[in-house]
Chain A
Amino acid sequence: MTTVLPGHGPEAPGEAETEAFQAVFDAAVAADERIEPRDWMPDAYRATLVRQIAQHAHSEIIGMQPEANWISRAPSLRRKAILLAKVQDEAGHGLYLYSAAETLGTGRDELLDKLHTGRQKYSSIFNYPTLTWADVGAIGWLVDGAAITNQVPLCRCSYGPYARAMIRICKEESFHQRQGYELLLALSRGTEAQKAMAQDAVDRWWWPSLMMFGPPDDESAHSAQSMAWKIKRHSNDELRQRFVDICVPQAESLGLTLPDPELRWNEERGHHDFGPIDWSEFQQVLKGNGPCNEQRISQRRAAHENGAWVREAAAVYAGKHATEHTGARNGEAA
């Protein structure tokens, strides 16, 4: 959206003006135009975006931990390089996303503080541990696969900076997903021990991956409004079904099974039926009682706190430098 709004300025608009702005905003969303940072937007739209983008950014940086857990032990140099590159990408995704949130007026420091104090969340999936090398593959195939299913529609999200960040992120995520699949394929074609390692990882990651799409539609707190704003394009259950339908033939190609005895093709629906999800586990992990909640947030806080003196030094150095430059410009001693 590029419309310059009448009376768009620093002063708070009056009621009539707000109504006019709202009408322009609504029309832009209805016409599938992008909302840009300088455009007027409803406060609740801004808050929803900040919440969602922040949660996504936090998930990228917390999500580095379970995979970084295996960088030092990767079993070949090729795998080590791929994993390092993937974890680096995730840090990069965090950077794009914090920048997207910044365009809405919320800085990275504020968001990190909310993460560190538990006032904002990250994806619960990262509260599960990576116990074997095969978990790196399962995360790539299932967790990144689920993330892509969720994120591809966000490339058409109504907020421009978020949509553009997602286009870059999705390109890299699809590489991540393929490396995970290929890692598992190598294991399932390998020795008995390797194949068992791959099956065990898929058994542990399958259900948590299905939970990544969020609660069922009738229990999802934020869904309806987000759909209306075109921040969200498909319902949780719709995306979950799409993911299951994609994974079933892929699991067959891998020669691995999915841990759900009720999983079968339903000719009538044209989709796979699957068993009930244990939402009590999801709620427990969300509340902080997952296997790694404490570990993940403690490591994040420790990294931040241990780095405080470094960031402070950089800021002080930059300050000294800026003074020198200003001094030089003013003809004072540099």
Chain B
Amino acid sequence: MSTAARPDGPGTMAALALGDDALILAQRLGEWAGHAPELEEEVALANIALDLLGQARTLLTLSGDEDELAFRREERDFRNVQLVEQPNGDFAHTIARQLYFSTYQELLYGQLAGGTEPLSALAAKAVKECAYHRDHAEQWTLRLGDGTEESHRRMQTALDALWRYTGELFRPVEGLDVAWDTLEDTWRASVTGIVTQATLTPPEGPQAAPWAAGAGRQGVHTEPFGRLLAEMQHLHRSHPGASW
């Protein structure tokens, strides 16, 4: 990694954490293109990916050069939560990931929008996008949970499988002035409400793996993340110094 891409200071670190969340989830959602269950979902998933990519570009630019940061950092330097890097799985897994993340992101940006520049301006704009993303995820959670036996089973499996990555969402991020306890309580009430309405069971069990090394915010990721980066960064890295 070049020195140009090494951000420091709590403000830029916070922007980097949120920027990486948005970038990596956009990368995952982009993988759906051409594979979605129906044409309307091709449009919706690409639309959400585009919103997130737009947020990522603004946030990364607050920390340095967006391409330098996206394409030249090593895995351990990424600060996204592990939830967003989880593979798409079936449509239910993607929706569960969206439900957990977009609910969190909307609440987080809602708080940041009332805070200080430069994040408040971005948050005020992004919070509207997040509300749409959450609504999309909630509608699908309801349809899949309260649809057929198969969709119910798949949605429950997905909610359970991704639950272990939700604890990290509420660990304070340095440089962000956020009431984390309130955020967690509101998130839990919101997610539990929709899951229950969808005739599904709110997952129990641990919300994080017990590991002192930490998780995504400390640059500790899961195995699929290395492959995601290899694919995303390969072309850019193959032509050092080139403009595109």
- Give the B-binding residues of A (Cβ under 8 A): 61, 64-65, 68, 71-81, 84-85, 87-88, 91-92, 94-95, 98, 108, 133, 183, 186-187, 190-191, 193-194, 299, 302-303, 306-314, 316-318, 320
Contacts and interface: CB of A to CB of B under 8 A. Distances in A.
Given A71-B33, A303-B35, A64 B42 contact: yes
Contact of A310 (B23, B67, B91, B235): B91
A91 B53 contact: no
Interface range for B:
35 or more
Secondary structure of the B contact surface, majority rule: helix
Contacts of A94: 39, 42
B34 A68 contact: yes
A190 B53 contact: no
Interface in B2-43: 23, 26-27, 30-31, 33-43
A61 B34 CA distance: 8
B43 A95 contact: yes
Given A77-B56, A77-B66, A186-B243, A64 B34 contact: yes
A84 B38 contact: no
A85 B50 contact: yes
A156 B32 CA distance: 35
Nearest to B240: A191
A311 B54 contact: no
Contacts, number: 142
A30 B156 CA distance: 60
Given A72-B31, A73-B231, A73-B232, 15 more contacts: A68-B34, A71-B33, A73-B235, A77-B67, A84-B53, A88-B33, A91-B42, A91-B43, A95-B39, A95-B40, A186-B243, A190-B242, A307-B37, A310-B41, A311-B37
Contact of B91 (A61, A190, A307): A307
Contacts of A302: 35
Contact of B30 (A80, A133, A193, A320): A80
A183 B243 CA distance: 10
B87 to A, nearest CB: 13
A225 to B, nearest CB: 30
B236 A76 contact: yes
A310 B37 contact: yes
A133 B237 CA distance: 13
Given A72-B30, A191-B239, A88 B70 contact: no
Contact of A193 (B43, B143, B144, B239): B239
B171 interface: no
Contacts of B122: none
A53 to B, nearest CB: 15
B154 interface: yes
Interface stretch (B127-135, B145-153, B188-196, B208-216): B145-153
12 contacts: A64-B34, A71-B30, A74-B235, A77-B23, A81-B57, A87-B34, A91-B42, A306-B35, A310-B38, A311-B37, A316-B148, A318-B143
A294 B136 CA distance: 33
A299 B42 CA distance: 14
Given A80-B30, A299-B35, A307-B36, A88 B243 contact: no
B35 A61 contact: no
B234 interface: yes
A53 B7 CA distance: 52
Given A73-B232, A310-B151, A88 B244 contact: no
A133 B143 CA distance: 38
Contacts of A299: 34-35
Secondary structure of the A contact surface, majority rule: helix
B39 A91 contact: yes
A190 B39 contact: no
Q: Which of A74, A77, A314 has the most CB of B within 10 A?
A: A77
A194 B54 CA distance: 26
Contact of A303 (B36, B142, B146, B148): B36
Contact of B43 (A80, A92, A311): A92
Nearest to A57: B39
A325 B42 CA distance: 29
A310 B93 CA distance: 12
B9 to A, nearest CB: 22
A309 B53 contact: no
A85 B42 CA distance: 11
A292 B242 CA distance: 31
Nearest to A71: B30
A84 B37 contact: no
Nearest to B95: A310
Nearest to A70: B235
Contacts of B57: 77-78, 81
Nearest to B150: A309
A187 B26 CA distance: 25
Q: Which of B26, B34, B46, B143 has the most CB of A within 10 A?
A: B34
